[in-house]
Amino acid sequence: MSRGAGTRPPLALVLAAGVVVALLLLPLAYLVLRVASGGEVLEILGEPTTWRLVRNTVLLAAGVVTCAVLVGVPLAWLVTRTDLPLRRLWAAAGALPLVIPSYVAAFCLLGFFGERGLLADALGVERLPAVKGYWGSLVALTLATYPYVFVLSQSAFRALDPSLEEAARGLGTSGRRTFLRVTAPGIRPAVGLGALLVTLYTFSDFGVVSLMDYDTLTRAIYVQYKSLFDRAPAATLALLLVALSGVALAVEYRLRRRGRLYRSGPGTRRPQPVVRLGRWRAPALLFCTAVVGLFLVLPTAVLAYWLSRGIANERELGLPWSEALHSVVASGLAAGAAVLAALPVAILALRYPSRAGRLLERLSYAGNALPGLVIALSLVFFAARWASPVYQTLALLVFAYVVRFFPQGLSGVESALETVSPRQEEAARSLGLGPLRALAVVTVPLVRPGVLAGAALVFLSAMKELPATLLLRPIGFDTLATEIWGLTQVGAYSRAAVPALMLIVVSAPVLYLVSSERRFESGASG
């Protein structure tokens, strides 16, 4: 910790952070209202089914986090620190599954590995064992979430000051010990954040568990809402989900607090030392091929197959340009708004450590584990009553995206701030700059790559968001996600493949923008 307890944050900063977090807590307020009006909380908490759902949800999240870290971190290390051939390609392809909506991924995996899927066809066997349930959900959600860990660890590996590792090596520490004592702690905050995002994503996901027929809290919440009557039980389960995410937040916070490393200076963007893979080259390539093959090539190939079937059956296949534009506009605005909103919260939490600042920051995550439907209905409730001019406008849709994906923007800003030493701001302030000015002049340029990464995560999540988009978009404002939904509703997979592929194609350049090394370097030095 850098600052003495006596340093008080500027009032404007506190106010801004407070307003942001208060807005993010609207869905929670709605749930409390609903539970209070229904009041069978104890009854629901006493039911064994409820605890079975909690267990299922925790098991799935634990499995997905484990897989996402096991896939994401090694991949990030390989593409940032080694002489792996085609590193740029692996870096781009490895992050790309982020743009595949998890429900599309589940459709594709079922289409391929299903009992009578394409694989069974290709093998010429009668039927394959079903891949539904826990394992099917695990694979589909790993596909959808490991890129969070991958992207964040990649920036951490890059941002890590090479002089720290060099110093360790110079003092005679072995390569392995240097990795364990210097590199691993250096990337731990980023991996922890990634794991947190994965956990919250898994908690909130409905598409995958519903297609894979695996009961989690979120699936039960949907069933409750669809049973149409009493909304209190669904709200109770949703609050349970919030409580679970509280546990995840506490764990992540502990991980992060254990030591942190700052860059020694802003100008030292020196090239990282390159690890020679030697005989590990072939296994490393095999690993990359397996990851990209399973998580990117396979779903895309299934989509392409459906598309070809549509062409063969002469179905109408138009390119959804206006839907693509709508998706990009709404998601772009959401990305900008989310990182802007994240700045005061992150700065307050990391630069002016205080119980209140930390609490605000943690609270801002609370809604992220909620299913999109719950967030959407809560905003319907508030906006239709008290903000009817913005109800069902683009502004409210963008706001809903920010509420859903704020932590992703925050994660980018925070992991960047983590690596910038407060000493540099202190130096600027000792030269007579005010606290906000010091932040603007010294810190903001340094954190730009992280901020961009955060904005990109929000953008990509918003591109594929479905439940809130359906209920809150302006009428007629079709996006690629709603288009895919509309077509899969009537079983028209061959036609749904068009917007799904388009979603991937449109999102890919954004990923390239943030994951390309050059961009990072020019961002940091200029």
Partner 1 sequence: MKSIPLLLVLVATAVTAAGCGGSDDTLTVYSGREEELVAPLFDMFTAETGIDVQVRYGDSAELAATIAEEGDNSPADVFFAQDPGSLGSVDAQLETLPKDILDRVDPRFRDAEGRWTGTSGRSRVIVYNTDALAEDEVPDSVFDLIDPKWDGRIGIAPTNASFQAFVTAMRLSEGGEATRTWLEDLKDLSPKEYEKNTPVVEAAAAGEIELGLVNHYYLYLVREEQPDAPIENHFLAPGDPGSLVSVAGAAVLASSDQSEDAERFVAFLLSDEAQRFYVDEAEEAEYPLIDGIEAKAGLPPLSSLQGPDVDLTSFGAEHEATIELLRETGYLT
- Interface residues toward partner 1, by CB under 8 A: 49, 52-53, 114-116, 127, 210-211, 213, 215, 219-220, 223, 225-231, 309, 313, 315, 325-326, 329, 332-333, 336, 373, 377, 380-381, 384-385, 388, 391-395, 467, 470-471, 474-477, 482, 486-487, 489-494
Provide the minimum distance between the beta carbon of 159 and partner 1 in the complex, in angstroms, as a whole number: 22
Continuous segment of H or E residues that includes residue 354: none
CA dihedral 448→451→452→455, nearest 10 degrees, is -160
Give the separation between CA 250 and CA 196, rounded to whole angstroms: 10
Q: In angstroms, what is the minimal distance from the CB of 128 to partner 1?
A: 10
Q: Would you say 73 or 307 has its CB closer to partner 1? A: 307
* Amino acid at site 202: T
The smaller minimum CB distance to partner 1, of residues 388 and 430, is found at 388
DSSP one-letter code for 294: I
Distances (CA, A) of 274 to 79, 158, 308: 10, 12, 43
Of 10 and 336, the one with the shorter C-beta distance to partner 1 is 336
The residue among 90 and 225 lying less far from partner 1, judged by its C-beta, is: 225
Q: How far is the CB of 310 from partner 1 (least distance, A)?
A: 8
C-beta of 221: minimal distance to partner 1 in Å?
10
- Give phi and psi for 279, each to the nearest 5: -75, -10
Rank residues 42 and 312 by Cβ distance to partner 1 and give the closer one: 312
Closest by alpha carbon to 244, among 65, 464, 481, 13? 65
Convert 323-337 to b/e letters by CB count within 10 Å (16 or more is b). Answer: bbebbbebbbbbbbb
CB atoms within 10 A of CB 264: 15
First to last CA, the chain: 28
- To partner 1, the closest distance from the beta carbon of 338 in angstroms equals 14
Evaluated on CA atoms 154, 156, 161, 167, the torsion sign reads negative
Smallest distance, partner 1 to C-beta of residue 392, A: 7
C-beta of 352 vs 399, nearer to partner 1 = 399
- Going by the DSSP 8-state scheme, the letter that residue 219 receives in this structure is H
Q: Which is nearer to partner 1, 169 or 519 (CB)?
A: 519
In whole angstroms, the minimum distance from the beta carbon of 306 to partner 1 comes to 9
